Amino acid sequence: MRRWLIPLVLGGASATGFAPLNWWFAILLCFAGLIALMERARTLRSALITGWWFGLGHFTIGLNWIATAFYFQDAMPHWLGWIAVILLSLYLAVYPAAAVGLAWRWGKPELIPLSLTFAAAWIVTEWMRATMFTGFAWNPLGVTLVEIGTVSRWIGTYGLSAIAVLAAGALAALGVRKWRDGLILAVPIAATALVTLLGPATPPDKALILRVVQPNINQNEKYSEELFATNIRRLVQLTGYPGALPRLVLWPEAAIPYRLEEDAEARAAFAKLLGPDDILLTGGDALVRDERGELIAARNSLFALDARGRILARYDKAHLVPYGEYLPMRPILSTIGLSRLVPGDIDFLPGPGPQSYALPGFGHVGVQICYEIIFSGEVVDRKNRPDFLFNPSNDAWFGAWGPPQHLAQARMRAIEEGLPVIRSTPTGISAVVDASGKVRRNVSWQQQGAVSTRLPAPVPLTLFARWGNILPLFFAALLTAISIAVRRRPR
């Protein structure tokens, strides 16, 4: 029983390293314990099983917010949410198991090569988790080090995950009094902290005003016909009045139920909220019709609206959430009573991917709707780099753990790409994040409010912004090469 209980408990405890608890020291201690278990594993099969149980605990606790989403729909039993969390974790645990197996096979018997190989394997398996079967990149290990994450401008979030693994290896070495090994493995985390302290200065803000709105509309209120007028009134009141300077007003994902492209009266009404040079960015649905004009699908979209009621741009979400915005294998799954979590009988269709849009007076904006912001290296149109990213989201159905985890990952995108990230959500956490990943202003979870502030400036093109996830994969190859060299050195 101890063979699976210890790694299961360690994995579950490691999830406390992520937001909202942010016990980063706990995740390092738990991974140090995993490395110690890996050292003691006698066979490859035993190592794989250890890694899988660890992963099961890690994801089951860390992804508990998914279960909360099932409480906001009545098409399926609410308890099915926890079944979904466990089933997803059973699959995701394969990736930590693979990392442990690779490290055991190619890193033993010495602690330094074992830790180096484990760090390299973690980069590769984390990248694979974000890529395979549409990808699920939530909570990469590196996000726990977001406060010292400047180095991710060169090695990305997955490279920062490897730094966390090496720090855990140092703790494992110090725990068994291998002082020399511990000090060697601690060098990368010390260098990471030093890079953050000596990092480039943040450029001065632009003379452009943002108005970020958080109406605090809960998921069970969002689609209520009785509260329709109240919800719109909140958005209008929080938007406020035009000022002396042009404003960029930002509303959340799917903020309005109107079909803006088809409803000129609604466009005119919202345009009245704007000054002559103001622009409104709001989430809404775009309808897809066939040649006969019949509705066949929808798109989760972001609209840019000016003071004349014109739609300046429309972005369609590309990375849709399976079972959230569309039901895979609908003819089969719908017959057994399953449905998607977002209300409605039609599925959403994906858009073309990252794009930048010119907003007169405000530069170029890149848009990533909700879940899309978690995919490292996939958030920017590299041929047309924007001046900032807007991440309208709806975290209202993700409990207390989902929103702060989502914000932490948005902060990592800001650091990697060297771009400010602006978030507007119905219930929080809405925030203005500068290009160094620092939260400048925010509206707390489940609070109603708005933020007026200047738009932070981008920093020059980062190495990661130029090359993307080639860099952490190269870092993995470098760690592997060092591990091989250490193993082959004369004793």
Do 415 and 437 form a contact (C-beta atoms < 8 A)?
A: yes
Pairing of strands 279-289, 247-250: parallel
Radius of gyration of the chain from its Cα atoms, rounded to whole angstroms: 23
Do 427 and 99 form a contact (C-beta atoms < 8 A)?
A: no
Instruction: Identify residue 343 by its one-letter amino acid code.
Output: P
Q: At what angle do helices 152-175 and 179-197 cross, to 10 degrees?
A: 150
Q: Which sign does the torsion angle of CA 315, 320, 325, 331 carry?
A: positive
Output DSSP code: residue 157: H
CA distance linking residue 310 with residue 267, whole number of Å: 7
DSSP readout, 224-238? -STTHHHHHHHHHHH
User: Which residues are part of the catalytic machinery?
Assistant: 253, 317, 370
Q: What is the strand order of the sheet 363-367 is part of?
A: 356-359, 363-367, 388-392, 421-424, 430-433, 439-443
Do 113 and 351 form a contact (C-beta atoms < 8 A)?
A: no
In this structure, how many other beta carbons lie within 10 angstroms of the beta carbon of residue 294?
7
CA distance linking residue 312 with residue 332, whole number of Å: 40
Output DSSP code: residue 353: -
Output DSSP code: residue 307: T
Please report which helix (H) or strand (E) contains residue 439, including its range. Answer: strand 439-443
Do 35 and 172 form a contact (C-beta atoms < 8 A)?
A: yes
Residue 241, by phi and psi: left (phi above 0), alpha (psi -120 to 50) or beta? beta
Output DSSP code: residue 322: B
